[in-house]
Amino acid sequence: MKFGRELASQMVQEWQDAYMDYKYLKTLLKDVLRFRQKYALSGEATSRTSSLHRRVSLYRAFSGLTSRYTTFKGSPRARKNEDEVILVSAVQQEGSESCYQTMFLRSSEEGGEYELVFFRRLDDEFNKVVKFYKGKVQEVKMEAEELSKQMDALIALRIRVDKPSVEQNYAQEIKFESSDASESAPATVVATLNGTNPGLHMDVIQELELGTFGYENKLDNEDKKDENGFRPPSLQVLDHVKINVEPDTPVSTLKNVIMNSKTDLSFSKDELRKAEEKLRHVFIEFYRKLRLLKSYCFLNMLALSKILKKYDKITSRKASKSYLEMVDNSYLGSSDEVNRLIEKLEATFIKHFSNGNRRKGMNSLKPQAKKERHRITFFLGLFTGCSIALVVAIIVAIHGRNLLKHEGRGQYMDNIFPLYSLFGFIVLHMLMYGGNTYLWRHFRVNYPFIFGFKQGTELGYREVFLLASGISVLTLAAVLSNLDMEMDPRTRSFETLTELIPLGLVSVLLFITFCPFNIIYRSSRFFLIRCTWHCLCAPLYKVTLPDFFLADQLTSQVQAVRSLQFYICYYGWGDFKKRSNKCLDSDIYKIFYIVVAILPFCSRFLQCLRRLVEEKDPMQGFNSLKYLSTIVALVMRTVYDLRKGMFWKIMAATSSGVTTIFSTYWDIVIDWGLLQRNAKNPWLRDKLLVSNKAVYFVAIVVNILLRLVWMQLVLDFNEAPFLHRRAFVAIVACLEILRRGIWNFFRLENEHLNNVGKYRAFKSVPLPFNYDDDDKTV
């Protein structure tokens, strides 16, 4: 693999603008190469003696009147010999950070201007990398200081909760501490507690000797000391801390509305467990950030080395040595803060969160990368082939037995078809999601980070297609076995076992979904269940992107939810042995028919209101109005079905038209970020992942057309006469699922580009403890 592709594959996508522009630097070298080849073929002289004797100062880059040059090892201010090609200096300007400038000494030669442009761009790229890296290092150092304080509080809380008797003894002995500054706090505890319960005190001594991330791991390796030279007792930090545990249940959310969320510590084991779990998660995310920052440094230094070697090879010069000496002496090459933080974080995590078990701790910090398994591809091919064979078998059976003209066709479509259409909606949605994951990975959209999947557990497109094909095989086999449209003439009913196949299929699917055993992608199943529960309990949970993204998916699965309602009515109150039901004759069923339709939209409406209250973002208010308009349109449609009349028809048409226009505009302009008039790509946006711009315009047109199809379903215009009404509703529902699949790709593309623009590559994990703002000593 060429280095350019390797760099693109390994870089942090959210930081891609901060990396060396290796591709553009290669194009500049190609210009140099083309000129040299052209100049060599022309037969002209390769040197001009008059130009060689020009003064070097004529080609020195002007860097301001107030700049100060810093000479570093390996970069002398004056030329040592005539073979030197470049001189690199660190320039310090007033009011700005130092930067590096290269003076090219062979500008007088033919084609020297191309090389001069190359070095100027190389300097710009290197200075960009150094500035970004230095800023990120400062950020992680500040985060390390904050983690130090969090660990102080956690260790103190551990001692208070697990060994409450030690705190009193420890506090008393501190008052009688001698003035010997060389004796540390842990040694004092050993001396003062000697002779009592040795097992208990050894645990406490171990806690204190291990110290915290701050005391062991500060970059200056200096402990905080009071005016007498002693470290403050660890247990005293609890006087300055409040618990900051986010509500994780609807009950705790309701309590949070009434009481302040940041309450005083009650020193309970539940608080300790939650704090440990949350701080453990913070450490893992911080470790991942440090590793990616280290990779960023390594990849950019490797890119510099590669591009300079290419320059030396093309020009037959020896400029890389001088430039790389400057790189080694720069902050990028000489700074060791990240490596030291990584080592100290590993030691702290292993001691405090893995009981000293290094293997266990490192497995938590560095989870194993997911391996591609050949058996997934094998079973995917097997299930796909079986699905195709079953589809062919069903078509042959229908035409061979002339079922399309059978007198029981209407009864079958009214009673059996809605049962199996549920699985068709699910499979189609999974196929669209699998296609989305393939495209996201192809265009390097970091969807695992955006959705917040646990590292290494996200499903790729092969796994999604495998699940979809597996469900497809089960469904098609059930349809083929339940394709009989004639009753038993003796019993005047259908076979009980055959008629229970759809119910058994739903039961199997639900059992797999809620199965507690670690089989069939348990992590992903539980993630789906948790997000679904958050959607149902909106707005009692804090709204995250996976929650409202799933709620948007459910708004496109209204017919699937209604199919589940039909299952309950058909098998609960209908006569499934004779394929008959009276669901539509029940007023209660009609009420729930509209309730289940508006439930996903109500969930999104409440999620938007919560985000409006928490984030104070007026756009969330407008978004809630969009979902409210959809709810009104569905209610008006139901009232029109029940009462008829021109007034209700006008109300239904008006409300449906408003929500269609509103939703279409929101999809394209807000969710996709397109139709920006002054963008670099006219009527699209500044950054695009798909190089073919026509794809975006086609997606806009398709979204508008499919929105109009949805409006047709709401208004119940004249349907196709050759299709049964159930089949027509299913086709329109499938078109809505296709529209949602298209929306998913561009919605996540826009989210990814927003993260890239703000360099957001890590999850923001809330800290468990909140220190008093006025406390400066802890």
pLDDT at 172 over 60: no
Q: pLDDT confidence of 599, banded at 50, 70, 90? A: very high
Query: What proportion of the chain, given as a percentage, has pLDDT over 90?
Result: 38
pLDDT at 496 over 60: yes
pLDDT at 507 over 70: yes
Asked if residues 266 and 252 have their Cβ atoms less than 8 Å apart, the reply is: no
Of the ranges 247-261, 466-480, 485-499, 634-648, the best mean pLDDT one: 466-480
- Write down the pLDDT at residue 75: 47
Asked if residues 428 and 560 have their Cβ atoms less than 8 Å apart, the reply is: no
In angstroms, the Cα distances linking 249 to 119, 236, 274, 453, 508 are: 58, 31, 13, 20, 29
Both tokens assigned to 182: 């060389």
Q: pLDDT confidence of 251, banded at 50, 70, 90? A: low
Q: In what helix (H) or strand (E) does residue 68 lie, and over which residues does it extend? A: strand 68-70
Lowest-confidence pick of 312-321, 546-555, 655-664: 312-321
Q: pLDDT confidence of 205, banded at 50, 70, 90? A: very low
What residue spans define the domains of the chain?
Answer: 374-757
Q: pLDDT confidence of 721, banded at 50, 70, 90? A: low
- Distance from the first to the final alpha carbon of the chain: 52
Q: pLDDT confidence of 583, banded at 50, 70, 90? A: confident
Mean pLDDT of 688-711: 91
DSSP for residue 693: T
Of the ranges 177-191, 585-599, 637-651, 695-709, the best mean pLDDT one: 695-709
- Write down the pLDDT at residue 107: 66
Lowest-confidence pick of 342-356, 466-480, 686-700, 718-732: 718-732
> For residue 648, how many other CB atoms are within 10 A of its CB?
17
pLDDT at 533 over 60: yes
DSSP for residue 220: T
- Write down the pLDDT at residue 758: 66
pLDDT at 430 over 50: yes
Lowest-confidence pick of 204-208, 528-532, 689-693: 204-208
Q: What is the pLDDT of residues 47-57, one digit of tens each?
A: 443 333 334 34
Mean pLDDT of 604-627: 93
- Write down the pLDDT at residue 206: 44
CA 508, CA 515: separation in Å to the nearest integer? 10
- Write down the pLDDT at residue 95: 54
Q: pLDDT confidence of 417, banded at 50, 70, 90? A: very high
Lowest-confidence pick of 173-177, 430-434, 519-523, 572-576: 173-177
Instruction: Strands of 197-282 (E only): list them.
Output: 241-243
pLDDT at 32 over 80: yes
- Write down the pLDDT at residue 69: 46
- Write down the pLDDT at residue 380: 95
Count the alpha carbons within 13 Å of 633 in the hemisphere toward its beta carbon.
25
Mean pLDDT of 152-176: 65
Tell which wins on pLDDT, 279 or 717: 279
Tell which wins on pLDDT, 118 or 79: 118
- Write down the pLDDT at residue 210: 42
Q: Give the amino acid at 68.
A: R
pLDDT at 77 over 60: no
Four-CA torsion 348, 353, 358, 363, nearest 10 degrees: -110
Mean pLDDT of 215-225: 41
In angstroms, the Cα distances linking 358 to 152, 259, 283, 352, 465 are: 22, 41, 15, 11, 38
Enumerate long-range contacts of 723-729, CB under 8 Å, 24 or more apart. Answer: 724/409, 724/410, 724/413, 724/417, 726/413, 726/414, 726/417, 726/418, 726/421, 727/413, 727/417, 729/559
CA 677, CA 698: separation in Å to the nearest integer? 18
Query: What proportion of the chain, given as a percentage, has pLDDT over 70?
Result: 77
Q: pLDDT confidence of 246, banded at 50, 70, 90? A: low
Enumerate long-range contacts of 371-377, CB under 8 Å, 24 or more apart. Answer: 372/462, 376/462, 376/463, 376/466, 377/462
- Write down the pLDDT at residue 96: 60
DSSP 409-442: HHHHHHHTHHHHHHHHHHHHHHHHHHHHHHHHHH
Among candidates 691, 699, 731, 687, which has minimal Cα distance to 713? 731
Q: pLDDT confidence of 258, banded at 50, 70, 90? A: low
Tell which wins on pLDDT, 20 or 775: 20
Q: What is the pLDDT of residues 367-397, one digit of tens each?
A: 766 676 789 999 999 999 999 999 999 999 9
Mean pLDDT of 603-627: 93
pTM across the whole model: 0.81
Tokens 């942090």 belong to: 12
- Write down the pLDDT at residue 10: 87
- Write down the pLDDT at residue 624: 95
> For residue 492, how many other CB atoms are within 10 A of its CB?
9
Mean pLDDT of 84-104: 73
CA 157, CA 207: separation in Å to the nearest integer? 11
Angle, alpha carbons 27-111-28 (nearest 5°): 10
pLDDT at 736 over 90: yes
pLDDT at 605 over 90: yes
| Cis geometry, peptide bond prior to residue 539 (ω within 30 degrees of 0) | yes
Average pLDDT of the chain is 80
pLDDT at 717 over 60: no
